[in-house]
Amino acid sequence: MDAFILAPDIKISRGRVMSDVLSRGFSHFYDQLNTGRKLTFKCLRKTFITRLEIFMHGGDIKAITGHTNDQTIKRSYLDKREMAKVAQGFSVFSKDEERDHQLEEIRSNPDRHTAEKDLEV
């Protein structure tokens, strides 16, 4: 039950061997693209986990990544620049389109607004 068909004489952890092979393979093929950037397999993991965090709005991503605690994820895998990009559109106050439309009308015709205000008094 614990015997392997391929390379049964290997005594090291096969999980570690597979992750090393994947990492080296990714680096090898990415380097052949000659992009001038240094990317590793960890970069893919970091991008995936960051996007997952953004999508799940801080949900329990440990269940998907297999990490044991949130601190490891926050410290090692969340891209702070990507998180900041998402926060750029954040506003404390909700967007009030009707109010924006009224302000635009006032700005485009200030004389009309003054005349209407004089009539109210």
**What are 7-17's pLDDT values in tens digits?**
677 777 766 77
Measure the CA angle with vertex 95, ends 93 and 99; round to 5°.
110
Tell me what the mean pLDDT of segment 95-120 comes to. 70
Alpha helices in the chain (DSSP H): 14-31, 41-56, 62-65, 70-76, 80-87, 97-108, 110-120
Task: Summarize the confidence of residues 55-74 as an average pLDDT.
Answer: 85
What are the Cα distances from residue 121, in Å, to 87, 107, 109, 113, 118?
44, 21, 20, 13, 5
Quickly tell me which residue has 């391929």 as its tokens. Answer: 6
Smallest CA-to-CA distance from 73 within 53, 54, 44, 57 is with 53
Query: Can you tell me the distance from the alpha carbon of 6 to that of 25, in angstroms, rounded to the nearest whole number?
Result: 19
Q: Where are the domains of the chain?
A: 14-90
* Separation of alpha carbons 103 and 85, rounded Å: 29
Model confidence at 29, pLDDT cuts 50, 70, 90, reads very high
Question: CA 25 from chain center: how many Å?
Answer: 24
DSSP letter at 95 equals: P
